[in-house]
């Protein structure tokens, strides 16, 4: 037996298989849908509560459109964990921007500050899941991103930005310019 034969006979460590791309797509899509719905609800909230602050209302509406675009791109494409996780990340980042506008119109309200921090944490967790190796396929980071998204929704509900049981306002995606698509890394 030579050294080569001996090496072939040694036991090798078996890496657990990554979840199937279709399963990952559903996971990322659920997170993106939740973030896009959060952004849409926030846009509606800011529009109603901004008391003439057209800048905050515009920024929240733009964030909701970008989140809707990310969700649309995800739903129109085939399973690709890297691209799907980027879409979820982009929807979450847009929801975080909308949350900042919610905090702006709510002023010093502690519930708004908490909701904004939760949205930023969800965005960071989605970003970490998208940047992992394999891109979008790290189960632990995806679980953290899912938990952070649920926490962001709960905090937005506590702040009054989302009302459970109320239908999510429709948001048009607008024109998907090459600039926006490039910005979203799609």
Per-residue three-class SS string for the chain? CCHHHHHHHCCCCCCCCCCCHHHHHHHHHHHHHHHHHHHHHHHHHHHHHCCCCHHHHHHHHHHHHHHHHHHHHHHHCCCCHHHHHHHHHHHHHHHHHHHHHHHHHHCCCHHHHHHHHHHHHHHHHHHHHHHCCCCCCCHHHHHHHHHHHHHHHHHHHHCCCCCCCCCCCCCCCCCCCHHHHHHCCC
If you average pLDDT over residues 35-61, what whole number do you get?
A: 91
Structure tokens at 23: 């399963």
Q: What is the mean pLDDT of residues 73-95?
A: 93
**Per-residue pLDDT reduced to its tens digit, 91-143:** 999 999 999 999 999 988 999 999 999 999 999 999 999 999 998 999 999 99
CA pseudo-torsion sign 174, 180, 185, 186: positive
Instruction: Report the chain's mean pLDDT, rounded to a whole number.
Output: 86
Question: Taking the model in full, what pTM does it have?
Answer: 0.82
Contact predicate 94/49, CB 8 Å: no
Question: Over the stretch 154-176, which tens digit does the pLDDT of each residue have?
Answer: 999 999 999 988 887 777 766 55
What is the predicted pLDDT for the residue at 10? 45
Q: Which stretch of 4-18, 78-92, 99-113, 151-165 has the lowest confidence by average pLDDT?
A: 4-18
**pLDDT above 60 for 23:** yes
Cβ proximity of 110 and 51 under 8 Å: no
């Amino acid at each position: 037996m030579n050294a080569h034969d001996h090496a072939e006979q040694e036991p090798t460590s078996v890496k657990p298989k990554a979840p199937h791309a279709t399963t990952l797509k559903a996971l990322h899509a659920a997170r993106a849908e939740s973030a896009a719905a959060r952004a849409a609800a926030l846009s509606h909230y800011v529009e109603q509560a901004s008391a003439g602050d057209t800048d905050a209302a515009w920024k929240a509406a733009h964030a909701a459109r970008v989140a809707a675009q990310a969700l649309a791109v995800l739903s129109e494409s085939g399973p690709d964990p890297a691209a799907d996780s980027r879409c979820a990340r982009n929807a979450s980042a847009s929801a975080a921007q909308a949350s900042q506008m919610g905090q702006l119109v709510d002023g010093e309200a502690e519930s708004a500050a908490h909701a904004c921090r939760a949205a930023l944490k969800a965005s960071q967790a989605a970003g970490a899941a998208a940047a992992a190796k394999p891109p979008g396929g790290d189960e632990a980071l995806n679980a953290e991103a899912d938990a952070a998204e649920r926490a962001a929704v709960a905090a937005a509900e506590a702040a009054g930005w989302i009302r459970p049981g109320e239908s999510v306002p429709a948001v048009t995606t607008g024109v998907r310019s090459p600039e926006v698509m490039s910005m979203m890394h799609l």
